[in-house]
């Protein structure tokens, strides 16, 4: 059992007008095997939370801690966080020209384990994972995300998660840009990792449609850089019916 604790997290970004505070004291605890959904309108700070956990240099933490089994990962480099068991699936996965999917994933797995997986075993594991995600074998030899469609990029993100086996995965709007078939395949991949590895999941989304396939035990509403409300799956159903207007009325 592992625990990811976010304590009083404050984060700012630099703008043309000076520093702008985005997160204003976020508290959240996720245990192994739990699925937490973070929902909220555009600009509420959801993606800032994801990238701050991962260590994006654009986001400056001014106060607070992010503890992985008691160790503050904010003091770690990005690669150290990944080796410790953190994973981020990005809303807009970047292209990496000149690096094949196969080499990229095997190098990442080697960095985590401290030794390279046996080639024959690795090829078999990767092929099996790709088949589960309905990905053509040819993608293994293509440059990372180069020329991939939006759905193909998202499947590749989940392929990474399946093969890297993180303790905690932060999924930043993984459902954006997916048609219904791709959404189902991606959701099945997330559920598979969750069930087989007991991975803790932090699922960031605007909409409830992905929650039909990935069932959270906890739902958190983000508004203006803070947790405005927390509850169970029923809270997501209420958001579907009512939207976020009532939270803006509270802020005003």
H or E, element range at 168: strand 168-172
CB 49 within 8 A of CB 39: no
pLDDT at 89 over 80: yes
pLDDT digit string (tens) for 203-241? 999 888 899 999 999 999 999 999 999 999 999 988 888
Instruction: Give the per-residue pLDDT at 242.
Output: 84
pLDDT at 172 over 80: yes
CB 40 within 8 A of CB 222: yes
pLDDT at 251 over 70: no
Instruction: Give the per-residue pLDDT at 243.
Output: 81
Instruction: Give the per-residue pLDDT at 190.
Output: 96
pLDDT at 101 over 60: yes
pLDDT at 87 over 90: yes
Instruction: Give the per-residue pLDDT at 92.
Output: 86
Instruction: Give the per-residue pLDDT at 91.
Output: 85
Q: How confident is the model at residue 250 (pLDDT cuts 50, 70, 90)?
A: low
Task: Compute the average pLDDT of residues 163-190.
Answer: 93
Q: What are phi and psi of 113, to 5 degrees?
A: -85, -25
Instruction: Give the per-residue pLDDT at 207.
Output: 83
Instruction: Give the per-residue pLDDT at 244.
Output: 82
For the chain, give the mean pLDDT: 92
88: exposed, middle or buried (C-beta count within 10 Å: 0-12, 13-18, 19+)? buried
Task: Compute the average pLDDT of residues 191-204.
Answer: 96
Burial annotation 211-224 (CB, 10 A radius, 16+ → b, else e): beebebebbbbbbb
Name every residue whose Cβ is closer than 8 Å to that of residue 61 and which is 6 or more positions away in sequence.
9, 10, 11, 52, 74
pLDDT digit string (tens) for 238-248? 888 888 888 77
Q: Between 92 and 3, where is the model more confident?
A: 3
pLDDT at 169 over 80: yes
Q: How confident is the model at residue 249 (pLDDT cuts 50, 70, 90)?
A: low
Per cent of the chain over pLDDT 90 is 80
CB 168 within 8 A of CB 200: yes
Q: Between 41 and 188, where is the model more confident?
A: 188
Q: Which two tokens stand for residue 182?
A: 């791709």
């Amino acid at each position: 059992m592992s625990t990811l604790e976010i304590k009083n997290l404050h984060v700012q970004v630099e703008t043309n007008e000076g520093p702008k505070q985005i997160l204003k004291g976020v508290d959240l605890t996720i245990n192994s095997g739990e699925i937490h959904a973070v929902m909220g309108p555009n600009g509420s700070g959801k993606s800032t939370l994801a990238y701050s956990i991962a260590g994006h240099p654009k986001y400056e933490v001014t106060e607070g801690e992010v503890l992985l089994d008691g160790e503050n990962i904010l003091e770690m480099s990005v690669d150290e966080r990944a080796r410790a068991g953190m994973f981020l699936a990005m809303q807009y996965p970047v292209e990496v020209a000149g690096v094949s999917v196969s080499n990229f994933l095997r190098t990442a797995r080697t960095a985590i384990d401290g030794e390279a997986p046996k080639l024959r075993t690795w090829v078999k594991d990767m092929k099996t994972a790709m088949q589960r995600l309905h990905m053509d074998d040819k993608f293994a030899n293509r440059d990372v995300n180069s020329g991939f469609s939006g759905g193909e990029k998202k499947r590749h993100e989940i392929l990474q998660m399946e093969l890297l086996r993180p303790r905690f995965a932060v999924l930043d709007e993984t459902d954006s840009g997916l048609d219904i078939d791709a959404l189902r395949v991606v959701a099945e991949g997330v559920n598979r990792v969750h069930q087989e590895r007991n991975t803790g999941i932090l699922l960031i989304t605007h909409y409830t449609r992905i929650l039909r396939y990935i069932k959270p035990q906890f739902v958190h509403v983000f508004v203006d850089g803070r947790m405005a409300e927390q509850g169970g799956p029923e809270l997501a159903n209420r958001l579907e019916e009512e939207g976020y207007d009532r939270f803006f009325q509270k802020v005003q």
